[in-house]
Amino acid sequence: MNKRAKQRLIGVTLLILVVVGVLIVASGVLTSGAEGVTISQVADNAEYVGKRVTVTGTVVAGSWIAGSEPFLFDIEDGEDPDSPRLRIVSAKQVPGSFGDGTTAIVTGLVADDGSIEAETISMQCPSKYESASGALTVSDVLNRARELEGTTLKVAGYVVAGSIEPPGSNPRFSIIETTQSDRELPIVFGGGLSEDIIDGAKVVITGSIETDGTFLAAEVALEGAPE
């Protein structure tokens, strides 16, 4: 490598380090000064109005509408049956792992009405694994749809490339029996998808086939030994 090439390489490396450093600092700015609070502490407490807080809670099923602007949803303490609900207002798109019953970590400002104007939202949605033993194939479900309608069952298949849609979409994604199949089973799912649910991933889904031919999923897991 000649001297000029070495200098160019050093310059590019330094530029990358500077960019990474800026991103880290920017991320820290968003969360710096944020007080960690519980939902019970901040809910209906005027002392927190105008303050930056970080709060963790379970997304309340049915509290959000896909594609709404701003995006609104409620969180509660899933461990406390008497937990108050806290309204979250976000001008940004929520992560793909967002969904009913998932855990959201929100940092933002407490508004006059007690809601939180979110600056950052991250999700805790660990991957779930389920054995495909005893699961039906996509063909089984489609061929016996009328017979199986309303019955809780498991179906295994591969996520169709390009079929994964944002939270709240109907269907959320589709599966096929093998990578060479052309018969798709649309999956309706209101929960959060882990980051490991990607195009081509083999999944095991628990739910039921509906009259419209979609599969209403109660749980979506990666194929594998249960953890």
The answer to whether 156 and 203 have CB atoms below 8 angstroms apart is yes
| Same domain flag for 219 and 136 | yes
Structure tokens at 218: 């109660």
User: Do 143 and 210 fall into the same domain?
Assistant: yes
Reference 30, options 117, 104, 102, 130; nearest CA is 117
Q: Are 87 and 181 in contact (CB under 8 A)?
A: no
- Examine the domain organization and report whether 76 and 53 are in the same domain: yes
Same domain, 135 and 168: yes
Q: Are residues 145 and 198 in the same domain?
A: yes
Domain that holds residue 73: 32-124
Calculate the CA dihedral of residues 172, 177, 183, 188 and round it to 10 degrees: -20
- The answer to whether residue 18 sits within a structural domain is no
C-alpha 76/C-alpha 58 separation (Å) is: 5
CB-based contacts of 3: which residues, under 8 Å, 6+ apart?
Answer: none
3-state helix vs strand vs coil in the chain, percent to 5: 20, 35, 45
Number of domains in the chain: 2
- Rounded Cα distance, 147 and 91, in Å: 45
**Does any domain span residue 91?**
yes
- 151 and 173, same domain (yes or no): yes
Of 93, 124, 155, the residue at which a domain comes to its end is: 124
Q: Are residues 120 and 160 in the same domain?
A: no
Residue-level pLDDT at 32:
54
Residue 13 within any structural domain of the chain: no
Distance CA 113, CA 84 (A): 14
Give pLDDT, residue 73: 96
Backbone Cα Rg of the chain:
22
CATH number at residue 81: 2.40.50.140
* Helix spans in the chain (H): 3-31, 39-42, 138-143, 145-148
Look at residues 109, 124, 139 and tell me which one is the last residue of a structural domain. 124
Is 76 among the domain residues?
Answer: yes
Last residue of a domain, one of 91, 124, 157: 124
Tell me, yes or no, whether 143 lies in a domain. Answer: yes
Q: Say yes or no: 65 and 113 in one domain.
A: yes
Q: Measured between alpha carbons, how far is 88 from 100 in angstroms, rounded to an integer?
A: 14
| Same domain as 152, residue 80 | no
pLDDT (tens, 9 = 90+) of the chain, 227 residues, equals 555 544 554 454 444 443 334 343 344 444 457 889 999 999 988 999 999 999 999 999 999 988 889 999 999 998 888 899 999 999 988 888 999 999 999 999 999 999 999 999 999 878 899 999 999 999 999 999 999 998 999 999 999 999 999 998 999 999 999 878 889 999 999 999 998 999 999 999 999 999 999 999 999 999 998 86
Note the pLDDT of residue 2.
Answer: 53
Residue 25 to residue 31: CA distance in whole angstroms = 10
Q: Are 106 and 38 found together in one domain? A: yes
